Amino acid sequence: MMDEDICSQLTSQTVEKIGQFSQEEFIERAKMFHGCVSPGVLLGGIMVSAAKELLPEGILFDAICETYSCLPDAVQILTPCTIGNGWMRILDYGRYAVSLYDKYEGDGYRVYLDVKKLKDWNEVHSWFLKLKLKHDQDNIRLKDQILSAGKQICSIQKIHVKSGFRTNRSKGLIAICGLCGEAYPVKDGVVCSACQQEKPFVMQGRV
């Protein structure tokens, strides 16, 4: 089913707003930013919104995502926290969870998709636990259930992020790698980290 048809074919619109956007606006922004309206980024938007609503107004906050899949894009759509500015950290635990917390004090909230709450949402349950192949999923029904369920399928924990995770992650001193000749952080070792491991590409000359 084409993404353009999602808004018109969803049968339930329990979640009318996702963050500062209407449901339709968020779907449009997800298409532009993420490339498509995946179930993960749609659910991620609801989770990020849930955490953001609990934070005191006006504070500066950072984010932690516990997966690389979809969820970081929802954070970047709805908050100022991005990979590039360093306000979002990704810890690849493979858990579908996001935390927003006070940048200085460390107090915040963690929201995660709770499998125990999926019994009434069969399509979400099958998708999340990968019980169906992707081409066997009912994509419209899946997204309809996510929007109908909203925060009901999530659990929220109050958290305090340790000070060591809140420190500024500076590159530190810079050196020139003796192998490739490029600049790199001294803390990485006697040569840059790229030269310490197999590279994913082969150099084929300059352009």
Sheet arrangement for strand 154-160: 88-90, 61-65, 97-102, 107-113, 154-160
Question: In the prediction, which pLDDT does 107 show?
Answer: 97
pLDDT range class, residue 18, cuts 50, 70, 90: very high
Domains of the chain: 3-166 (3.30.1330.130), 170-207 (3.30.60.80)
* CB-CB contact of 65 with 91 (8 Å): yes
Question: In the prediction, which pLDDT does 203 show?
Answer: 81
Question: In the prediction, which pLDDT does 92 show?
Answer: 93
Write the pLDDT tens digit of every residue in 94-150: 999 999 999 999 999 999 999 999 999 999 999 999 998 888 889 999 999 999 999
Question: In the prediction, which pLDDT does 3 show?
Answer: 41
Question: In the prediction, which pLDDT does 10 show?
Answer: 40
pLDDT range class, residue 9, cuts 50, 70, 90: very low
Q: What is the pTM of this model?
A: 0.84
- The answer, yes or no, to whether residue 166 has pLDDT greater than 80, is yes
- The answer, yes or no, to whether residue 7 has pLDDT greater than 50, is no
* Cα dist from 171 to 168, 175, 184, 195, whole Å: 9, 11, 9, 18
* CB-CB contact of 20 with 78 (8 Å): yes
Helices 39-54, 71-78: axis angle to 10 degrees equals 50
3-state secondary structure of 59: coil
Give Dmax (Cα) for the chain: 61
- The answer, yes or no, to whether residue 168 has pLDDT greater than 80, is no
Question: In the prediction, which pLDDT does 21 show?
Answer: 93
Q: How far apart are CA 87 and CA 103, in angstroms?
A: 9
Q: How far apart are CA 170 and CA 188, in angstroms?
A: 13
Give me the sign of the Cα torsion angle 51, 20, 91, 164: negative
Question: In the prediction, which pLDDT does 175 show?
Answer: 95
- The neighbour count for residue 62, using CB atoms within 10 Å, is 23
Place of tokens 């009901």: 152
Q: How far apart are CA 128 and CA 112, in angstroms?
A: 12
- Rounded average pLDDT over 178-205: 91
pLDDT range class, residue 12, cuts 50, 70, 90: very low
Question: In the prediction, which pLDDT does 170 show?
Answer: 73
Question: In the prediction, which pLDDT does 185 show?
Answer: 93
Write the pLDDT tens digit of every residue in 27-85: 999 999 999 899 999 999 999 999 999 999 999 999 999 999 999 999 999 999 999 99
- The neighbour count for residue 98, using CB atoms within 10 Å, is 29
